[in-house]
Structure 1
Amino acid sequence: MTYCCAIKVNEGLVFAGDTRTSAGVDDVRTYNKVHVLEFPGDRIFVLLSAGNLATTQAVLAQIRRDLEEPVVPMSLRLARYMYDAAEYIGKLSVNAQNTITPPAQLSSVDLRTTFILGGQIQGEEPSIYMIYPEGNCIASSPETPFLQIGEHKYGKPILDRVIGPNLSLEDAARCALVSIDSTLRSNISVGPPLDLAIVPKDALAVSHKLRLDLDTPFFARLRESWGRQLAASFGNLPKFDWESPPAQGSLLGDRPPGS
């Protein structure tokens, strides 16, 4: 399985994802799930994937083939709007699922893949889209300025509480990493190394792209600091009424003064 998230704030976009594709007892495999396609000065796309690896690779291969062909009806280079690009990838995904024929003994294999496409085309606002296996897509909204795919339930609470339009790109990136760290602790199917990409508004390029492992100094400090401060905050939660210290003089019971 996997966990990827994309965040939209006023300053731009943040993308993060793990790399684990298999998590058996003695069989752990990794694969890049954050794919960057840059067209300097014109457009930038970041594609996140969760689901069948064969379908994902087929879609990526077709994207690259269409970019190399001089005459094609559609490609990421030709898309006028981000929505058009999301629909194009949805069609590639459906076609890949219909084309891949697993062996008879693997006929029950799930070929579905879910994507998140984010980025910006010159003249348009940055945006992020969830592309479902059926080929349809939805955009993020002001009420939910982030999208998740894969094992998203463990990392959603921190995003719900922190992410807002006025958050800085750096804070959004830290929140994305904490969200993934929360998932790492609860689900063995999500694992390091992690990929992080930051796309500032109107830059039409990735400003920072990082690969982080558990022992990468910055990520190790982030995990330790988050865990420590979370524990400290828990210790400062309001107490139950019966935990309150006794009022002054209560050791004397309810007897009136002088009795």
Structure 2
Amino acid sequence: MTYCVGIKLDAGLVFLSDSRTNAGLDQISTYRKMMVYEKTGDRFMVLLSAGNLSISQSVREILQVEKLDNGDEPPITIWNATSMFDAARVLGSAVRRVYEQDGPSLKQAGVDFNASMILGGQIKGEAMRLFLVYSAGNFIEATRETCYFQVGESKYGKPVLDRMITPHTALDEAAKCALVSMDSTLKSNLSVGLPLDLLVYEADTFQSQQMVCIDERNPYFTMIRSTWGQRLRQVFESIDDPTWDGSAAEHPLCVPSERYEPMRKITHPGEKIV
């Protein structure tokens, strides 16, 4: 399994992925899940992948040469697409092409065609965009209401993103939030693991120098891992315990309610239970 997150903000884009791939307890390997497609001054795109490794690797290879028919115009590729929407269409076509080639054999072997991908970036002449591409090749786009996507083992890292991320969040703050989200996932799921790849893209630059590979010796991520746990414990301990006698409590737990109490069967001494 894996965990990847892509975040779209007013100021730019943030991408984070782990690198663990496992096919059992004794088959654990490290593979990069992040791929960068860059044409200086013209386009900058990042692809994150989760799911079956053989599928995602095939899609990444085909994507670089995949073409969409464009009528009398030259075929559309990720290198000449005039919009990120068209680039996402090319990616969807690459996914379907791999399915046509490998899907029947995988099904015969009892293996699901499982791959999901995040594609984000910017092409000169339009704003930044972020897409989530499914196994069928169809996709959805991030909006201001839903400005981030996750693929892979997403449930553990979602709460902190929901509470902290808005379109107005600063890039460095969003990168910190993504790392906290990843730390929560690492803590709860062994199928996600180091090293991590983190990339921060600033809007309208069509390049990024803010790329880093994070391993277990990285001082900033080590600080995140220790500090986040300590602060959570401090906040938890600062919250009052529930008070069952609510007569003098500032925040009573037991208050009048129109809902029924749980069903309860009470037996009395000497009563025969059938």
Report the TM-score when normalising by structure 1: 0.87
Secondary structure in 2 matching 1:205: coil
**Which whole-Å CA distance do the structure 2 matches of 1:20 and 1:4 have between them?**
11
C-alpha contact (below 8 Å) 2:64/2:78 kept by paired residues? no
**Which whole-Å CA distance do the structure 2 matches of 1:110 and 1:154 have between them?**
24
Q: Which residue of the partner structure matches residue 75 of structure 1?
A: 77
Moved more, 214-223 or 233-242: 233-242
Q: Which residue of the partner structure matches residue 55 of structure 1?
A: 55
Q: Which residue of the partner structure matches residue 110 of structure 1?
A: 112
**Which whole-Å CA distance do the structure 2 matches of 1:182 and 1:62 have between them?**
34
CA RMSD of aligned residues (A): 2.2
**Which whole-Å CA distance do the structure 2 matches of 1:102 and 1:217 have between them?**
46
C-alpha contact (below 8 Å) 1:200/1:207 kept by paired residues? no
**Which whole-Å CA distance do the structure 1 matches of 2:97 and 2:5 have between them?**
25
Change (3 A) 1:199 1:93: same
Q: Which residue of the partner structure matches residue 259 of structure 2?
A: none
Q: Which consecutive unaligned segments of at least 5 residues does structure 2 have?
A: 68-72, 250-274
**Which whole-Å CA distance do the structure 2 matches of 1:64 and 1:139 have between them?**
21
C-alpha contact (below 8 Å) 1:97/1:112 kept by paired residues? no
Q: Which residue of the partner structure matches residue 5 of structure 1?
A: 5
**Which whole-Å CA distance do the structure 2 matches of 1:66 and 1:193 have between them?**
30
Provide runs of 4+ in structure 1 moved above 4 Å.
Answer: 101-106
Q: Report the residue type matching 1:12 in the other structure.
A: G
Q: Which residue of the partner structure matches residue 137 of structure 2?
A: 135
Q: Which residue of the partner structure matches residue 229 of structure 1?
A: 231
Deviation at 1:234?
0.9
Deviation at 1:110?
1.8
Report the TM-score when normalising by structure 2: 0.83
**Can you list the C-alpha shifts for 1:68-99, whole angstroms capped at 9, x where unaligned?**
xxx96221111111111111101100111210
2:193 to 191, 194, 197: 191
Change (3 A) 1:103 1:207: same
C-alpha contact (below 8 Å) 2:63/2:90 kept by paired residues? no
Deviation at 1:37?
0.8
Secondary structure in 1 matching 2:65: helix
What aligned pairs does 1:91-240 form with structure 2 within 5 A after superposition?
91-100=93-102, 107-240=109-242
**Which whole-Å CA distance do the structure 2 matches of 1:106 and 1:213 have between them?**
38
Q: Report the residue type matching 1:36 in the other structure.
A: V
Secondary structure in 2 matching 1:65: coil
**Which whole-Å CA distance do the structure 2 matches of 1:243 and 1:179 have between them?**
38
Q: Which residue of the partner structure matches residue 252 of structure 1?
A: none
Q: Which residue of the partner structure matches residue 46 of structure 1?
A: 46
**Which whole-Å CA distance do the structure 2 matches of 1:155 and 1:18 have between them?**
13
Deviation at 1:25?
2.6
C-alpha contact (below 8 Å) 2:66/2:94 kept by paired residues? no
**Can you list the C-alpha shifts for 1:97-124, whole angstroms capped at 9, x where unaligned?**
2102676896211232111000001121
C-alpha contact (below 8 Å) 2:34/2:47 kept by paired residues? yes
Deviation at 1:242?
5.3
C-alpha contact (below 8 Å) 2:106/2:113 kept by paired residues? no
**Can you list the C-alpha shifts for 1:148-192, whole angstroms capped at 9, x where unaligned?**
001101100000000011111001001111101101111111111
C-alpha contact (below 8 Å) 1:159/1:175 kept by paired residues? yes
Q: Which consecutive unaligned segments of at least 5 residues does structure 1 have?
A: 248-259
Higher relative contact order (CA 8 A, sep 6+): 1
- The number of residues matched between the two structures is 243
Q: Report the residue type matching 1:31 in the other structure.
A: Y
